[in-house]
Amino acid sequence: MNIKPALYEVLYVSTLAPQQPLSVVAEIAARARVVNAELDITGLLVFDGQRFCQQLEGPQKAVLKLIERIRNDPRHVNVEIVHNGPLAGRRFQQFSLAFSTLEDVDALARMERLDGQAAVAAFDEVCAAIEL
């Protein structure tokens, strides 16, 4: 019998560390796509020029291990996990890590102050505003 591990998701907001060139964002996304695909993790990374928002989904253990590595990455600061928990179905089936910039610079600042379902609702709004 083929039992799939339960899906889990994490959503956080963080800020690009001072002195980091914008080019690190592309470096992070390119490397992350390869690693996430290997880990059966999918998700979305959004960057508004200052803040990141990232959603990661996949097998719980793999997601929790990865988020721990990401939290300790000095290329960003103020990592605020706004939601984590089980997930019924993947939001980003076809992307190991979708990437988008975001024009609205207030959206991630607002999301940083939310948690739980309010944060997920704000994330849904961001997803609707961007084109993947």
Ligand X SMILES: Cc1cc2nc3c(=O)[nH]c(=O)nc-3n(C[C@H](O)[C@H](O)[C@H](O)COP(=O)(O)O)c2cc1C
Partners of 57 in the β-ladder: 9, 42
Q: Shortest distance, CB of residue 93 to ligand X, whole angstroms? A: 16
- Quote the least distance from Cβ 3 to ligand X, whole Å: 25
Residue in this structure with the two tokens 């939601």, named with its chain if needed: 83
76 binds ligand X (CB under 6 A): yes
The reply to whether 53 sits near ligand X by the rule CB under 6 A is no
Question: What residues have CB less than 8 Å from 37, skipping those under 6 apart?
Answer: 96
Q: Which is nearer to ligand X, 78 or 117 (CB)?
A: 78
Distances in Å between the Cα of 13 and the Cα atoms of 5, 40, 60, 95, 123 are 26, 22, 19, 19, 10
Q: Contact residues for ligand X (CB under 6 A)?
A: 14, 28, 32, 35-36, 45, 52, 54, 56, 66, 69-70, 73, 75-76, 97
